[in-house]
């Protein structure tokens, strides 16, 4: 029998994650409800000021806070059932390139976060931005959302592998995750806000942060990909 | 092929002989730099202290001309913190290559020195922010990236405390120290990438006058020597502690 290729390893691992999620719907429900709850908290926080201020200028930032905390929740869970059910030992017994585990896990995390974004962004729009005229550049927020999600899922995957074996895992994940994604977050918030406000010179504030965010993604994903072997074998 | 014997850093090797001289010279140089900053280096662009003066396009008061002296310490300690972090990551890589706990000790001690100098930088930087810019804190790109550098270094120690198994702790710590290194070039380049930032960039402000450069170099060399001496002293203490623990464990068995 021929040895299965790296690609089939990857596909199998990814399919396993998706099937597990499809059957339990554990992550997506908890992340989706959490996102809705954050929006409700925003509703309370902005109750007195939402009409007085220009929500378009704050929208990008609020949206990203929502995404960061929701992803944090999902990333913390992403290795939990692997550990609870001893699945990780099984995967480690297979003679495969360990980086494939990283890629498969990162891709499944990207997919989960994207699904949550697809639900949360329209909800955010529905609750806060319908009173505003829509800038024609609004669809451009897809680019920073995508770039940010890829980077967050990549960094989050290696960090949740690290914190899986520590005491106080969830707190530690947040302590490590938020500083490490900060440059990415900063760039993505700038680009998102530029697209939401859509002022005349919006491309200046949109393109440069997006390029920087892509650069950070590439560097971080490469570093994480190389280091993952050590982390998962420890 | 015989495996090349790995040379491990150990307490009492030749660098330990340099600790006392390094500490003495470092103390002399930093003190000299402190005096030079006030007595030798002239205020920026030859301004006199008796009246406000136009530097660049900004009217500068004599209080600002004096608080500019913070720069002579702020920049050297910031550079030393970056260098210490480079060493921490270097030993992290060495650990991952060799799986030798010794390098993890080196990496940890280097990270402790990084934290110390990061705190020095934050304190001097905050004084600068207060007296030159008139606020205690501003979300300026360099400040922000440096703040997150400090948070990553703190998170490194939080992570170390949360893992019990030494092998695993060393691996995770090495990985985080390498990831933390990514923030150094970002922090360094950010004021050049985002030109609107108010953080001074020396090359943009037309370089340093020779007397200023001289003072900075003396403080920088002094701080590097102090950092080296602290590193070796702390490393020796950590190693002796580890050896004593090993002896204790042996006695118990």
A169 CA to chain B: closest CA distance, Å?
9
Is B184 at the interface with chain A, CB within 8 A?
no
β-partners of residue B60 are B53
User: B207 CB contacts (<8 Å, ≥6 apart)?
Assistant: none
Nearest to B179 among A166, A180, A212 (CB): A180
* Interval A132-159: pLDDT, tens: 777 788 888 899 999 999 999 999 999 9
* Interval A62-74: pLDDT, tens: 999 999 999 999 8
Name the interface residues of A facing B (CB cutoff 8 Å).
158, 162-163, 165-168, 172, 175-176, 178-180, 182-183, 186, 212, 216, 219-220, 223-224, 227, 230-231, 234
- Residues of chain B with pLDDT > 70: what percent? 86
User: A160 CB contacts (<8 Å, ≥6 apart)?
Assistant: A75, A76, A78, A79, A173
Nearest to B151 among A168, A179, A220 (CB): A179
Q: Is residue B49 part of a domain?
A: no
Helices A169-197, B141-162: crossing angle, 10 deg rounding? 160
Q: Is residue B229 part of a domain?
A: yes
**Count of domains forming chain B:** 1
Q: Is residue B52 part of a domain?
A: no
Asked whether the predicted pLDDT for residue B50 surpasses 70, the reply is no
User: How many H-runs (helices) and E-runs (strands) does chain A carry?
Assistant: 9, 0
Asked whether the predicted pLDDT for residue B151 surpasses 90, the reply is yes
B169 close to B190: Cβ distance less than 8 angstroms: no
According to the model, what pLDDT value does residue B203 have? 65
According to the model, what pLDDT value does residue B48 have? 58
CB contact under 8 A, A162 and B159: yes
pLDDT band at residue B2 using 50, 70 and 90 as cut-offs: low
Q: Tell me the pTM.
A: 0.88
Q: What are phi and psi of B205, to 5 degrees?
A: -85, 10
Q: Is residue B176 part of a domain?
A: yes
Q: Is pLDDT larger for residue A50 or for residue B177?
A: B177
Domain span at B75: 20-36+62-243
Rounded to whole angstroms, how far apart are CA atoms B92 and B104? 6
| Over residues A23-50, mean pLDDT | 86
Closest CA to B36 of B246, B216, B242: B216
Nearest to B182 among A166, A223, A231 (CB): A223
According to the model, what pLDDT value does residue A43 have? 86
- Residues of chain B with pLDDT > 90: what percent? 45
Rounded to whole angstroms, how far apart are CA atoms A219 and A168? 28
* Residue that the structure tokens 């499944």 belong to: A108
Q: Tally A–B CB contacts below 8 A.
A: 71
Question: What distance, in Å, lies between the first and last C-alpha atoms of chain B?
Answer: 37
Task: Return the percent helix, strand and coil in chain A, to nearest 5.
Answer: 85, 0, 15
According to the model, what pLDDT value does residue B160 have? 93
pLDDT band at residue B47 using 50, 70 and 90 as cut-offs: low
Task: Decide: residue A210, CB within 10 A, 0-12 exposed, 13-18 middle, 19+ buried.
Answer: buried
| Over residues B191-196, mean pLDDT | 70
Whether this model's ipTM surpasses 0.90 comes out as: no
According to the model, what pLDDT value does residue B1 have? 45
CB contact under 8 A, B144 and A186: yes
- Per DSSP, the three-state class of B134 is coil
- How is residue A149 written in tokens? 């999600």
Least confident of A76-80, B85-89, B237-241: A76-80
Q: Is residue B104 part of a domain?
A: yes
According to the model, what pLDDT value does residue A91 have? 84
The widest CA-to-CA distance across chain B, in whole angstroms, is: 76
User: B163 CB contacts (<8 Å, ≥6 apart)?
Assistant: A165, A166, A167, B169, B172
pLDDT band at residue A55 using 50, 70 and 90 as cut-offs: confident
Closest CA to A18 of A122, A107, A132, A93: A107
- Per DSSP, the three-state class of B60 is strand
- How is residue A86 written in tokens? 């001893």
A1 CA to chain B: closest CA distance, Å?
35
- How is residue B149 written in tokens? 């550098």
Q: Is residue B24 part of a domain?
A: yes
User: What average pLDDT does the structure give for chain B?
Assistant: 85
CB contact under 8 A, A175 and B172: no
CB contact under 8 A, B148 and A172: no
């Amino acid at each position: 029998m021929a040895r299965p290729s790296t690609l089939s390893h990857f596909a199998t691992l990814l399919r396993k994650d998706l099937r597990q999620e499809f059957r339990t719907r554990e992550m997506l429900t908890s992340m989706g409800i959490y996102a809705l709850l954050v929006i409700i908290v925003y509703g309370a926080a902005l109750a007195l000021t939402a009409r007085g201020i220009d929500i378009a200028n704050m929208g990008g930032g609020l949206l990203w806070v929502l995404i960061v905390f929701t992803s944090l929740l999902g990333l913390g869970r992403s290795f939990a059932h692997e550990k609870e059910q001893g699945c990780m030992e099984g995967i480690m017994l297979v003679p495969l390139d360990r980086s494939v585990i990283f890629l498969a896990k990162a891709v499944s995390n990207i997919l989960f976060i994207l699904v949550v974004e697809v639900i949360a962004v329209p909800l955010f729009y529905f609750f806060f931005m319908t009173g505003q005229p829509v800038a024609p550049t609004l669809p451009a927020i897809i680019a920073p959302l995508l770039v940010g999600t890829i980077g967050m899922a990549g960094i989050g995957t290696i960090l949740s592998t690290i914190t899986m074996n520590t005491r106080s895992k969830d707190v530690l994940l947040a302590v490590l995750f938020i500083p490490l994604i900060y440059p990415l977050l900063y760039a993505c918030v700038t680009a998102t806000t530029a697209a939401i406000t859509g002022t005349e010179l919006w491309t200046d504030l949109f393109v440069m942060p997006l390029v920087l965010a892509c650069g950070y993604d590439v560097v971080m994903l490469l570093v994480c990909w190389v280091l993952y072997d050590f982390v998962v074998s420890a | 092929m015989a495996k090349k014997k790995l040379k491990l850093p150990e307490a009492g090797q030749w660098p330990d002989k340099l600790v006392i001289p390094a500490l003495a010279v470092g103390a002399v140089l930093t003190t000299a730099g402190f005096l030079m900053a006030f007595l030798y280096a002239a205020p920026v662009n030859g301004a006199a202290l008796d009246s406000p003066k136009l530097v660049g396009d900004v009217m500068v008061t004599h209080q600002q001309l004096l608080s500019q002296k913070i720069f002579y310490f702020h920049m050297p300690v910031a550079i030393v913190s970056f260098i210490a972090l480079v060493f921490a990551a270097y030993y992290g890589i060495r650990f991952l290559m060799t799986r030798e706990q010794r390098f993890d000790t080196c990496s940890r001690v280097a990270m402790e020195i990084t934290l110390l100098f990061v705190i020095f930088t934050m304190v001097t930087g905050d004084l600068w922010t207060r007296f030159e810019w008139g606020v205690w804190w501003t979300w300026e790109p360099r400040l922000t990236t440096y703040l997150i550098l400090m948070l990553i270094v703190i998170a490194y120690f939080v992570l170390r405390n949360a893992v019990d198994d030494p092998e695993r702790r060393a691996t995770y710590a090495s990985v985080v120290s390498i990831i933390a290194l990514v923030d150094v070039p970002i922090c360094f380049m950010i004021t050049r990438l985002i030109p609107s930032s108010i953080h001074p960039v020396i090359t943009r402000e037309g370089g340093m006058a020779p007397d200023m450069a001289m003072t900075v170099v003396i403080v920088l060399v002094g701080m590097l020597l102090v950092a080296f001496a602290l590193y070796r002293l702390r490393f020796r203490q950590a190693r002796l502690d580890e050896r004593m623990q090993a002896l204790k464990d042996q006695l118990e068995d």
